[in-house]
Amino acid sequence: MQKQLLNKILVFIFLFTPALLKAQDCATFKEWHALKSAQPLPTASVAERASYNNNLWHAVNHTGELIFESYLASQYNSKEVDLCIKSEDDKLDLQISLTKAFLWGTIEKLKQSESEKIASFAKSIEERLNRTNLPDFRLVGHLNIDPDLPYRGGFHRGQKSVFLNFDLISPNEWYIIFIHEFSHYMDDELRSSTDIYNRKDDVKRIAEAVRSSGCLQDLSPEIRSLLDSWLIAGLNRGFLAEYRAWTKTIDLYLEGLKINSWQEIPLLESFLSSYDQDENLSSYVFKKLDRQFADPNEGIFSLKIIQETLSIVRDDLRKTHR
Ligand SMILES: [Zn+2]
């Protein structure tokens, strides 16, 4: 008899679990959904409709903030989003509110850091973002399927914007990847060098001069100096940009570790495995990355004179970064 009862209870749980989950899982969207179900009729007064829109927008933004907090607490549930947000308009609203919540929420939390270095970096990002009207940040993940999706994050050199894919980033790594990509964003040298490196006329002049020369010494001082600045610009948007961003990232990573802002990150720990606390951090990062960045050998870089010059430029850099 007791066994039969138990079976009945199990069947009941089995049958009703999806329904219970459904109700429980939309908890994050409760405020938003409640407002939507009380939407005023088209005949309502202007003031009533304005107040509704205002409250709705507030609720949507608040939902974004709740999701950001649950993500940081490793409790983000993408199934809940699928289950509770159905219409394309709502998805778009949620995407906008998530982008705001993840960007400004992260900056706000970093600004409140006990570490002066971390706090002031966050303030400088905030100031720069406030000066621009461009959409300099894109949050990718879940609702927003994007060609950049296979990547966790990046700084788009052409658009000069940051994107981060929170679906692929563990909450413990979120701040570090954010700091890394925004280090690129804040890097003025990277911004100006990208423009220099992309000057097609200069590249054409260099290639023509190099092709009609037998050796490096044949190049005119003008072309030689143009070539040097073009190669340095190339390094400044590639290898040196990573060197600067990683030096900043690791410096702040170590700061945050000391005050428990995040836990150890295996990738960074292995990068730092031979780092000696007394060593200069930027020289260490330079040496580590220098080994990983091979010179390109395609296109104009297949020309021997270009390869030779690049190798001289890199040797000079090694001397100044000892
Ligand atoms: Zn980078």
pTM recorded for the entire structure:
0.88
Residue 138 lies in a domain: no
Across 144-160, average pLDDT: 76
Residue 230 lies in a domain: yes
18 CA to middle of ligand 1, Å?
Answer: 43
243 CA to middle of ligand 1, Å?
Answer: 8
How does pLDDT run across 61-97, given as a tens digit for each residue? 999 999 999 999 999 988 888 899 989 999 999 999 9
267 CA to middle of ligand 1, Å?
Answer: 14
- The CA distance from 91 to 89, in Å, is 5
How does pLDDT run across 198-226, given as a tens digit for each residue? 999 999 999 999 999 988 999 999 999 99
Domain boundary among 86, 102, 133: 86
151 CA to middle of ligand 1, Å?
Answer: 12
- The CA distance from 134 to 155, in Å, is 14
The model's confidence at residue 1, banded by pLDDT at 50, 70 and 90, is very low
Q: If you ran DSSP here, which 8-state letter would residue 85 be given?
A: -
**314 shares its domain with 190:** yes
Residue 196 lies in a domain: yes
60 CA to middle of ligand 1, Å?
Answer: 32
**What is each CA distance from 167 to 19, 76, 93, 318, in whole angstroms?**
26, 10, 18, 38
Residue 237 lies in a domain: yes
312 CA to middle of ligand 1, Å?
Answer: 24
Residue 95 lies in a domain: no
155 CA to middle of ligand 1, Å?
Answer: 7
How does pLDDT run across 244-291, given as a tens digit for each residue? 999 999 999 999 999 999 999 999 999 999 999 889 999 999 999 999
Specify the number of domains making up the chain: 2
- The CA distance from 164 to 115, in Å, is 24
Domain boundary among 86, 114, 141: 86
How does pLDDT run across 43-58, given as a tens digit for each residue? 999 999 999 999 999 9
AA letter at 32: W
Residue 238 lies in a domain: yes
Domain of 10? 1-86
249 CA to middle of ligand 1, Å?
Answer: 9
Domain boundary among 43, 66, 86: 86
Residue 164 lies in a domain: no
Across 135-149, average pLDDT: 72
163 CA to middle of ligand 1, Å?
Answer: 12
Residue 229 lies in a domain: yes
